[in-house]
Chains A and B, each alone.
Chain A
Amino acid sequence: MRFEFFDVTADTGYWSFGSSLEESFENAALAMFEVMTNTSQIRKLEKREIEVISEDKISLLYDFLEELLFIHEVEYLVFSDFEVEIQKLKEKYKLNGVAEGEKINPEVHEIRGEVKAVTFHKMEIRKEDGYKVRVILDI
């Protein structure tokens, strides 16, 4: 299992899993796009590179998802494939990532809900059977 959604009254929350921190981040990104569409319908036609630097791992996850949301809104892209590398700098963390997908098209992709924002609410990274991270999106 790559991610699992859970109930939040007004919004959408999920846990994503991975054998490494990187993989749990990749699956967190996949789950976010699963909220918007059926990611299995997304073809890998376009590629975007992402770099974020943040003060801690939680903020790194937040900034990574926010950056993807930003690209989605400005370029209409949805992604289904991610590759993430995380490096520890002196007092910060750096993420380099590649996301692959295509422009959203209602004739090809199932249209689900819009994601308004990533939140810090209950955001968590746990080292448990590999890694699991918790994300709540504002819908």
Chain B
Amino acid sequence: MSMEEVLNKVRDCVWELPSNYKKSMRVPGRIFLDDEALKDLEKGAVDQVANVASLPGIQKFSIGLPDIHFGYGFSIGGVGAFSARNGIISPGGVGFDINCGVRMVRTNLSEEEVRPKIKEIIDTLFRNVPSGVGSKGKIRLKKGQIDEVLTNGAEWAVENDYGWEEDLEYLEENGKMKEANSDKVSEKAKKRGVPQLGTLGSGNHFLEVQKIEKIFEPEVAEKFAVEKGKIAILIHTGSRGCGHQVCSDYLRIMDKAYKRHKINIPDRQLACAPVDSDEAQDYFQAMSAAANYAWANRQMILHWVRESFEQIFQKSAEDMGMSVVYDVAHNMAKKEVHEIKGRSKELYVHRKGATRSFGPGRKEIPSPYRKIGQPVLIPGTMGTSSYLLHGTQTAMDETFGSTAHGAGRKMSRAGAKRKYRGEEIQKYLQKKGIIIKATSMPVVAEEAPGAYKNVDEVIQTVEKSGISKLVAQMVPLGVAKG
């Protein structure tokens, strides 16, 4: 059965999965894809959209974004919003890497200043920001400090001299989920968190030095203070072992909870609990704490990025204008107010491999950006473009203010390793003027640009469907990876 036969076209790049696709569905699905990408849509991912549509308290649509692919329980590139009165909360709707996210830092440096030193910059970043399997964080938390990190997030980092007070204004939730409760985080998760704070990790995580290649909306770019030809830095990492353990712990708890609460679910991996149950609220508080860990992590890495640039350019980070454009989370559940049938309703919005894309006027957006909509950061893969966009009213109306989070894999890691060699990819990118430094060459092969969907096509669909609007395109000069 082709997926084109199952889906009904709503308009260009927007498809409806009718609620009679599966008997259990409570609402229809909405999938954002262009005609070309629709041909490659996995049936497994569509079934997952339908499964999420079957969960209690789901609102309006179960959503698949332009980078949708098959995940555990919930698809990756998926959004499910559940009533805060009679809905559910599910760790599978957030994923293992809680608050995996992206931070963009601007500079006033030009390509001419940076290009000749790019190798030195990447080497320095690689040295100053621990990454890869078995890497040790540079700091050792004292006993009890992990609880402060989990409670206060990026604020903890700034109080401990990692970065600037003003950075906080430009992070989602100001880098601190107020609902966090470190008592709900297991000792195991804390122990995994202690040595890894201030580390980048491995896999698709990276630090990238980029040039702003193209501006699409000059007026918005000006408000976001990004300028064509200038250099920016992208930091992509999450909550490390701490967040993974929180997810694992609560998947076990939810596996018992859904049976106890007699929730009918089509797939065990959608294990969840009613919003007002202890299990759901404990998870939400623990997840919020892990999210805070991730914001502290990115804040510390930002600090070392600034230090690295200071070492090389012998200027202060302030003089180089190294301030934060924005920081987005892409594996999160949040309690948000959305308009449903003309009425404001509190919802738990689950975004798994999805970026918030709030439109103009939302109070969550920093005041200098509020009239435009929030900045949205969509990273490409190693060696490809990344994009800065802004949130829209269309996203508010159709996706609970959400958009894509990246290119999405199309080839398995094993397949990529059979097809590519890390050293060859490194040389190929070097010819294109992109320097890669990585702890692991097999990881470079796994992350080869050819193993991912084309990010440019994902962006086109995002733009055409209107769930975010393009502001700038960035191209990489150098990448440090785990």
Which residues in A have some Cβ–Cβ distance to B below 8 Å?
A: 5-12, 36-37, 66, 70, 72-74, 76, 78, 103-106, 110-114, 116-121, 138-139
Contact = CB atoms under 8 A, between A and B. Distances in A.
Contacts, number: 98
28 contacts: A7-B412, A7-B414, A9-B69, A12-B413, A12-B414, A36-B134, A66-B248, A70-B192, A70-B245, A73-B241, A74-B194, A74-B195, A76-B134, A76-B195, A78-B134, A106-B132, A110-B440, A112-B133, A113-B202, A113-B203, A114-B132, A114-B201, A114-B482, A116-B97, A116-B241, A120-B269, A138-B244, A139-B203
B482 A10 contact: no
Interface string B247-264: 110010000000000000
Contact of A113 (B191, B248, B443): B443
Interface in B364-399: none
Contacts of A105: 134
B412 A9 contact: yes
A117 B409 contact: no
A117 B248 contact: yes
B188 interface: yes
A23 to B, nearest CB: 24
Nearest to B353: A10
Interface centre among A111, A116, A118 (most CB of B within 10 A): A116
A120 B202 CA distance: 22
A103 B245 CA distance: 21
A120 B251 contact: yes
A134 B244 CA distance: 21
State which size class the interface on B falls in: 35 or more
Please report whether the interface of chain A is mostly helix, strand, loop or mixed according to DSSP: loop
A59 B447 CA distance: 31
Interface string B226-260: 00000000000000010011011001000000000
A97 to B, nearest CB: 17
A73 B196 contact: yes
A111 B439 contact: yes
Given A9-B412, A116-B97, 19 more contacts: A7-B415, A8-B414, A9-B69, A9-B409, A9-B410, A10-B76, A70-B191, A73-B241, A74-B194, A76-B134, A104-B134, A111-B134, A112-B443, A113-B202, A113-B440, A114-B203, A116-B96, A117-B96, A138-B72
B269 A121 contact: yes
Given A73-B241, A113-B133, A138 B268 contact: no
Interface of B: 69-72, 76, 96-97, 132-134, 136, 188, 191-192, 194-196, 201-203, 241, 244-245, 247-248, 251, 268-269, 409-415, 439-440, 442-443, 446, 482
B244 A111 contact: no
Contact of A119 (B72, B97, B443): B72
A74 B71 CA distance: 27
A10 B251 CA distance: 20
Interface centre among B136, B269, B440 (most CB of A within 10 A): B440
Contact of B133 (A6, A7, A104, A121): A104
A113 B446 contact: yes
A70 B413 contact: no
B132 A8 contact: no
Contacts of A116: 96-97, 203, 241, 244
Contacts of A7: 412, 414-415
Contacts of B248: 66, 117-118
A74 B137 CA distance: 11
A51 B329 CA distance: 37
A26 to B, nearest CB: 21
Contact of B96 (A5, A103, A112, A138): A138
B442 A6 contact: no
A127 B422 CA distance: 38
Nearest to A59: B252
